[in-house]
């Protein structure tokens, strides 16, 4: 990275000072975002390695590559790493950290030192969890269901739980920082109705981080205590209730999927409007839909427990409430589509990823409606249908949005352009690879193939082979960006301040921005996404 | 005096804020938001308490009768007094009386340590009576005339008792550390009427931890005096 910035003349956050200490002790939100980028990329590859092992095992019906115990550990560690150490921090901690102060016209987040602390907590949590994995792993599933996790499993549950507990505080502090920053640090004229939708959706996600994460923290702490000191809150032998664990766990972990998807929706809102050259359709509705998703998201958790033995009346209410989440989600999808209608659309890489997001998120969302209905849920519970649904939302939705955002703001973050041709190829590979991997799993699940088994009947082999083949395409699609982003640091064309001719305060400062973000505090006098009143300049890079 | 106050205040202004007012409002807002997360953190335990108290009411009554109400009540009084001295300490910082502030905060620390000491005595009593959940747990009412009617579920009561009061005690220990940090900063003359928000925020935290105990005391100690509910 040091060599890349030598040719950039203007002082910026990357060349302001050098040396490992200037990075590890930085309080600059942009540098902390880069620290997060490096660490969550490492976590992504670790989680991806576990996923590839799972897919390789499932290439043949017999359980021949790994033992069933190892397989249990593989899917558990894949889930823990990807959910808690990649998806939850991904867009907020990297793009949110970098962009929110820029977008609201502030010099930094409200609490810069707390922001650095949150990265250290993330690292401490990550290293703790990884240590538990290296020492022998965990086999409870990422959900830690009791009493298996508290009494029977003889793997490193405490290490993994404590790792997630620590990383949870990193998430809480990030969310807290975002909320306070958006409330208190906005530049003059940056009213709530002019706030970029990326900030709105991160604000909504931050509300969930702040209100939900403490509950998972105390729950996992109780699991760890129960293993370590044999206190009996969830132990049925003492009259404890395993269902209480599931309630507390999903009270966080269901809203947590909205922590993962909401920031991604914010990315898509920014990109769709920019590459359609039109003001986003129904700005207020898209903004408030984020808040509605965050609020409704707290009221639907027990739809994960329809077959766990909750009362049928509770199940009915939770089913109904779960349907309601589809409304604000659909508002967003319709408004993105309406934004594109009659827009002058340009097919740059971020927009290709955004197309992928809208399509795949719609499939993931609609199958979520299937799962919210009691009758179908009983049929497909714990099958590959659920796995496919979840991955359509999380990988097809969230990872797509993360990649879209990384490409869109990479010129701003690094000061370099990425190679457009390779990037389009990778977007295509990710889309094709993803669908080949996960669409067969819908069919597998509907035919009754249960998840979390390392062997399966021979008649399921064709679909499983298809899925494994798709996952290798997907892997190539993810390796490519890693290579050309690194390549672009040295050889990429220097990025102009506003390569996409986009509106938004982050594009009004240089690329990469100076340490203090803006030479003078900006004063906002225009509406958000005012593309109609902007001169229609041609984009200089790619087309 | 006034100009040096403002100099200290300007020194305390962090680079990314426009003025002291924005900085103070931001940090106080941040503290309130943090306390909200603390409510959710304890909320999980209060939720578990509610569920099990409804399921095993008799066991909860029998468990709570093993609590030393007098020590618990004394501790409640100690904490309320500590909140008073804390509040007066914040006021002293506001009124530019640093010596008074330091004195009041030292008294607050003494109250805090007093609370922890009394709590330790209680914990010791429960420990020697085998009222700690785990393999050595053993429960009897201590009155052979009235054996426990639901001894098997008292272990859940004690699990929650130790978890809730233990987490509260941990917050107290952190609180004592924070007040000590304010005292040390106060000795260096860090605070003025223009810049005292760390004092105010530590005060908010202290009151919050106090308030948690105000709920824990009746929920754990005062369920019912009558035998067997």
What is the 3-state secondary structure of A388-427? HHHHHHHHHHHHHHHHHHHHHHHHHHHCECCCHHHHHHHH
How far away is chain B from the Cα of A214, in angstroms, using its nearest Cα? 4
Judge whether A42 lies within some domain: yes
| Closest of A293, A292, A324, A322 to residue A305, by C-alpha | A322
**Interfacial A residues in 477-516 facing B (CB < 8 Å):** 516
B49 interface with A at CB cutoff 8 Å: no
Block mean pLDDT (10 aa), chain A, length 543: 50 89 94 97 97 96 93 96 96 97 96 97 97 94 93 92 97 97 95 96 97 96 90 86 95 95 97 95 96 96 93 94 95 96 94 97 95 92 96 96 97 96 97 97 96 94 97 97 96 94 93 92 91 60 40
The mean pLDDT value of chain B amounts to 91
Judge whether A183 lies within some domain: yes
How far away is chain B from the Cα of A20, in angstroms, using its nearest Cα? 23
Q: Is B55 exposed, middle or buried (0-12, 13-18, 19+ CB in 10 A)?
A: middle
How far away is chain A from the Cα of B110, in angstroms, using its nearest Cα? 29
Select from A173, A230, A513 the residue whose CB has the most chain B CBs within 10 Å, as the one to mutate to test that interface.
Answer: A230
Q: Is B20 left (phi over 0), alpha (psi -120 to 50) or beta?
A: alpha
- Between CA A90 and CA B49, with CA A145 as vertex, the angle to 5 degrees is 100
**Angstrom distance (rounded) from CA B131 to CA B135:** 11
A241 token code pair: 């209730």
Number of H helices, E strands in chain B: 7, 0
Cβ–Cβ of A176/B37 closer than 8 Å?
yes
B20 interface with A at CB cutoff 8 Å: no
- Prediction ipTM score: 0.90
| Closest of B122, B135, B118, B132 to residue B160, by C-alpha | B132
Residue showing tokens 């901690």: A93
Cβ–Cβ of A239/B40 closer than 8 Å?
no
Q: Helix A400-414 to helix A97-104 angle, to the nearest 10 degrees?
A: 60
Among B29, B51, B56, the residue with its CB nearest the CB of A183 is B29
| Closest of B118, B106, B42 to residue B78, by C-alpha | B118
Residue showing tokens 């105010």: B200
Cβ–Cβ of B33/A239 closer than 8 Å?
no
pTM for this model (two decimals)? 0.93
**Angstrom distance (rounded) from CA A368 to CA A370:** 5
Q: Whats the size of chain B, residue-wise?
A: 229
| Closest of B175, B226, B227, B221 to residue B75, by C-alpha | B221
Cβ–Cβ of B16/A185 closer than 8 Å?
yes
pLDDT of residue B227: 52
pLDDT of residue A117: 97
Residue A240: list chain B partners with CB under 8 A.
52, 156
State how many domains chain A has: 1
Cβ–Cβ of A180/B153 closer than 8 Å?
no
**Which residues form the domain of A496?**
27-508
Residue B153: list chain A partners with CB under 8 A.
238-239
| Closest of B111, B119, B86 to residue B217, by C-alpha | B119
Q: Could you tell me what percent of chain B has a pLDDT over 70?
A: 93
Q: Is B184 exposed, middle or buried (0-12, 13-18, 19+ CB in 10 A)?
A: exposed
Tell me, what DSSP letter sits at residue A496? P
Q: What is the pLDDT of residues B190-203, one digit of tens each?
A: 999 989 999 999 99
Please give the helix or strand (H or E) that residue A127 lies within, else none: helix A112-134
Tell me the CATH number at A386. Answer: 1.20.210.10
Cβ–Cβ of A218/B41 closer than 8 Å?
yes
Q: Is A65 exposed, middle or buried (0-12, 13-18, 19+ CB in 10 A)?
A: middle
Q: What is the pLDDT of residues B158-175, one digit of tens each?
A: 999 999 999 999 999 999
Sign of the torsion angle spanned by Cα atoms A33, A35, A36, A42: positive
Whether the pLDDT of residue B143 is over 90: the answer is no
CATH superfamily of B35-221: Cytochrome c oxidase, subunit III, four-helix bundle (1.20.120.80)
pLDDT of residue A10: 76
Among B26, B44, B51, the residue with its CB nearest the CB of A241 is B51
pLDDT of residue B6: 57
Whether the pLDDT of residue B140 is over 90: the answer is no
**Interfacial A residues in 148-207 facing B (CB < 8 Å):** 172, 176, 179-180, 183-185
First to last CA, chain B: 64
Judge whether A2 lies within some domain: no
How far away is chain A from the Cα of B34, in angstroms, using its nearest Cα? 7
| Closest of A423, A436, A435 to residue A477, by C-alpha | A423
Tell me, what DSSP letter sits at residue A383? B
Judge whether A522 lies within some domain: no
Question: What chain B residue is nearest to A182 in terms of C-alpha separation?
Answer: B26
Question: What chain B residue is nearest to A222 in terms of C-alpha separation?
Answer: B163
Residue ranges covered by each domain of chain B: 35-221
Judge whether A359 lies within some domain: yes
pLDDT of residue A533: 78
Q: What's the distance, CA B41 to chain centroid?
A: 14
How far away is chain A from the Cα of B33, in angstroms, using its nearest Cα? 7
């Amino acid at each position: 990275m040091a060599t890349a910035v030598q040719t950039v003349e203007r002082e910026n956050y990357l060349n302001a000072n050098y040396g490992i200490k200037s990075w590890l002790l930085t309080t600059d939100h942009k540098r902390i975002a880069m620290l997060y980028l490096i660490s969550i990329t490492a976590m992504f590859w670790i989680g991806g390695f576990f996923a590839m092992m799972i897919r390789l095992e499932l290439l043949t019906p017999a359980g021949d590559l790994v033992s069933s115990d190892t397989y249990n550990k593989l899917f558990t560690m894949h889930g823990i790493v990807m959910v808690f150490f990649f998806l939850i921090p991904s867009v907020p901690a990297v793009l949110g950290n970098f962009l929110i102060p820029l977008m609201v016209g502030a010099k930094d987040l409200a609490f810069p030192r707390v922001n650095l602390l949150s990265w250290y907590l993330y690292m401490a949590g990550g290293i703790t969890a990884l240590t538990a994995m290296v020492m022998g792993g965990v086999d409870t599933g990422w959900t830690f269901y009791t009493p298996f996790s508290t009494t029977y499993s003889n793997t490193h549950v405490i290490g993994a739980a404590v790792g997630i507990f620590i990383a949870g505080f990193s998430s809480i502090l990030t969310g807290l920082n975002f909320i306070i920053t958006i409330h208190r640090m906005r530049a003059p004229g940056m009213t709530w109705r002019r706030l970029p939708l990326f900030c709105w959706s991160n604000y909504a996600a931050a509300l969930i981080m702040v209100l939900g994460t403490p509950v998972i923290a105390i729950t996992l702490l109780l699991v760890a205590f129960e293993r370590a000191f044999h206190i009996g809150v969830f132990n049925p032998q003492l009259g404890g209730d395993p269902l209480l664990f599931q309630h507390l766990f999903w009270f966080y972990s269901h809203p947590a999927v909205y922590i993962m998807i909401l920031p991604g929706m914010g990315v898509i809102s920014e990109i769709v409007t920019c590459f359609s050259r039109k003001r986003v359709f129904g700005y207020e509705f898209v903004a408030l839909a984020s808040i509605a998703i965050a609020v409704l998201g707290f009221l639907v958790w027990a739809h994960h427990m329809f077959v766990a033995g909750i009362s049928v009346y509770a199940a009915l209410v939770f089913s109904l409430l779960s349907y309601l989440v589809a409304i604000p989600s659909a508002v967003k999808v319709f408004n993105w589509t309406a934004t594109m209608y009659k827009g002058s659309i340009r097919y740059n890489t971020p927009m290709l990823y955004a197309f992928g997001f809208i399509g795949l998120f719609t499939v993931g969302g609609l199958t979520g409606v299937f799962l919210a209905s009691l009758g179908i849920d009983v049929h497909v519970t714990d099958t590959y249908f659920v796995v496919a649904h979840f991955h359509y939302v999380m990988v097809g939705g969230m990872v797509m949005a993360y990649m879209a955002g990384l490409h869109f703001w990479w010129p701003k973050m690094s000061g370099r352009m990425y190679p457009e041709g390779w990037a389009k190829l990778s977007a295509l590979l990710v889309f094709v690879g993803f669908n080949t991997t996960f669409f067969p799993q819908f069919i597998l699940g509907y035919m009754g193939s249960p998840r979390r088994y390392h062997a399966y009947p021979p008649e399921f082999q064709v679909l499983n082979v298809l899925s494994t083949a798709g996952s290798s395409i997907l892997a190539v699609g993810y390796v490519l960006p890693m290579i050309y982003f690194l390549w672009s640091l040295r050889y990429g064309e220097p990025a102009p301040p506003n390569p996409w001719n986009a509106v938004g305060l982050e594009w009004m400062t240089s690329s990469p921005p100076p340490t203090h973000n803006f030479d003078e505090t900006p004063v906002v006098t225009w509406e958000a996404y005012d593309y109609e009143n902007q001169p229609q300049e041609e984009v200089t890079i790619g087309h | 005096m006034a100009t040096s106050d403002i100099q200290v205040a300007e020194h305390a202004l962090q680079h990314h804020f426009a003025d002291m007012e924005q900085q103070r409002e931001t940090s106080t807002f941040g503290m309130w938001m943090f306390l909200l997360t603390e409510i959710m953190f304890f909320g999980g335990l209060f939720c578990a308490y509610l569920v099990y108290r409804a399921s095993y009411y008799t066991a909860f009554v029998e468990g709570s009768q093993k609590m030393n109400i007098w020590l618990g009540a004394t501790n409640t009084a100690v904490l309320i007094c500590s909140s008073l001295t804390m509040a007066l300490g914040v006021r002293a910082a506001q009124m530019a009386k640093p010596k008074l502030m330091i004195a009041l905060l030292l008294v607050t620390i003494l109250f805090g340590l007093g609370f922890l000491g009394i709590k330790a005595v209680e914990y010791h009593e429960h420990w020697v009576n085998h009222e700690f959940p785990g393999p050595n747990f053993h429960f009897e009412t201590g009155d052979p005339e009235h054996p426990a009617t639901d001894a098997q579920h008292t272990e859940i009561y004690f699990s929650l008792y130790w978890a809730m009061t233990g987490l509260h005690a941990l917050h107290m220990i952190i609180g004592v550390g924070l007040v000590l940090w304010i005292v040390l900063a106060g000795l260096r003359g860090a605070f003025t009427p223009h810049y005292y928000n760390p004092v105010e925020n530590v005060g908010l935290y202290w009151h919050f931890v106090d308030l948690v105990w105000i709920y824990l005391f009746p929920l754990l100690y005062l369920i019912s005096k009558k035998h067997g509910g």
